[in-house]
Structure 1
Amino acid sequence: MSDAAMYEGPMDDDEGESPDMGDLYDELEALADAVDDPDERERVERAMRTAAAVEPGGLFGRVIKGFDRGDVAEALLGSALFGIPMLVEGGTGEVGAFLATHPVSVVGTLAFTVAAIVGILYVSDFQDVRVTHRIFGVVPRRLAGVLGISLAFAIVSMTAWGRVEWATPLSAAASVSVAWVPMAIGAALGDILPGT
């Protein structure tokens, strides 16, 4: 009896929740692991690609994978929507000035930002976000894209609008780190909420 014949089908849902596309994708992955024949494995992988391409109605319940130029645009838009209020708010500079005198707080702010984005993308249940491509085999491309786009937007916009003075780099970096928090959150939400 082949491994595929021993596959028992869908797992029982102990919580009584209806299965969604993420559950289907998980089942197909489990089936792909159980199949040992190359032709059967290819058929299962085709079914996985088809399942991932199916777009259920609404913003939620989709399997999100890859990171293309549409995702870049969504991340940039989310970053701008959440970030522009930080650019015009005087409190950003005040918090940045405080952080500049407490470098450990700058590091903590940066670490919090990265942790929050990891949480939004991969831990929370907003969407079923799959890691399909990694940079250097370690960093998920979506994570790097969201963080990089929002950080670039924070640096460029705060510089262009005269909110930071790079003659004092620690103060400028501290202010950028303050603005980066909501910009990164906006970029992550802007990227995954449309569900593409």
Structure 2
Amino acid sequence: MAVSERDSDPDFRDAIEELEELEEFVDSAEEREQVREAMRTLERARPRMFGRLRDGFDSRDAGEALVGSFIFGIPMIVEGGTLEIGVYLATRPLFVGVTLLFGLALVLGILRSVEFEKVEEDLLFGVISIRLIGILAISGGAALILMTIWGRVDWTTPRVAASQTLVTAVVMAVGASLGDILPEA
């Protein structure tokens, strides 16, 4: 069935279906491979809700991550509930670990939505994502600096201060990852 017969507003799925139909009708293995390559190209070019990652994590990505981190982090820094949560976590090391792992899982999930692991220029030693490290460093550093210079933590009680900063850093990391992947206007 041709796209024009389905409706007047074809979409990405229609194009893939047309290529799949074409694949069945081509005569040679070489032609089939060309159709499959066209489908793979179309999949990579597919519009995404959250945009697309450029080649590697650069200063522009770091800036986007910093802005996202700041936007998400400011309410956490000025809100007293963050400090209360940090006090609670400070006496529960297991919950600190769970909070840290939960934050990491959220960030990985967000980055996975744009297939960050496929950006080869972004891998350190071919294994570790520079984007992931950058986002965690930016959000963690921003949380540490802002919580400290704005007097939101008291480092004479390091366990409490670190827990309070961790709560803020988790939220800032979510903001940083979203800031990095959202499409540009």
* TM-score, with structure 1 as normaliser: 0.69
Q: What amino acid sits opposite 1:105 in the alignment?
A: F
Q: Given the superposition, is the C-alpha separation of residues 63 and 184 from structure 1 closer, same or farther in structure 2, using an over 3 Å criterion?
A: closer
Matching residue of 2:92 = 102
Equivalents in 2 of 1:79, 1:22: separation in Å? 33
Equivalents in 1 of 2:42, 2:159: separation in Å? 44
Please state if 1:166 is matched with 2:150: no
Matching residue of 1:137 = 126
The alignment yields a C-alpha RMSD, in angstroms, of 2.9
Matching residue of 2:178 = 189
Equivalents in 1 of 2:60, 2:172: separation in Å? 18
Q: Relative contact order (C-alpha < 8 Å, sep 6+): which is higher? A: 2
Equivalents in 2 of 1:20, 1:165: separation in Å? 54
Matching residue of 2:33 = 8
Give percent identity, aligned residues only. Answer: 48
Equivalents in 2 of 1:60, 1:102: separation in Å? 36
The 4+ residue runs of structure 1 with deviation greater than 2 A are 4-7, 9-12, 19-22, 58-65, 127-131, 135-138
Equivalents in 2 of 1:22, 1:190: separation in Å? 26
1:16-95 correspondence to structure 2 within 5 Å: 23-24=43-44, 60-95=50-85
Bigger helix share: 2
Matching residue of 1:31 = none
Equivalents in 1 of 2:178, 2:93: separation in Å? 28
Equivalents in 1 of 2:119, 2:141: separation in Å? 23
Matching residue of 2:106 = 116
Equivalents in 1 of 2:154, 2:50: separation in Å? 41
Q: Is the 8 A contact 2:68 2:172 kept in 1?
A: yes
Shift of 1:153: 0.3
Q: Could you list the runs of 5+ residues in structure 1 that have no partner in the other structure?
A: 13-18, 27-55
Q: Could you list the runs of 5+ residues in structure 2 that have no partner in the other structure?
A: 1-28
Q: Deviations over 1:148-186 (max 9, x none)?
A: 100000000000111111111111110011111210000
Matching residue of 1:43 = none
Matching residue of 2:9 = none
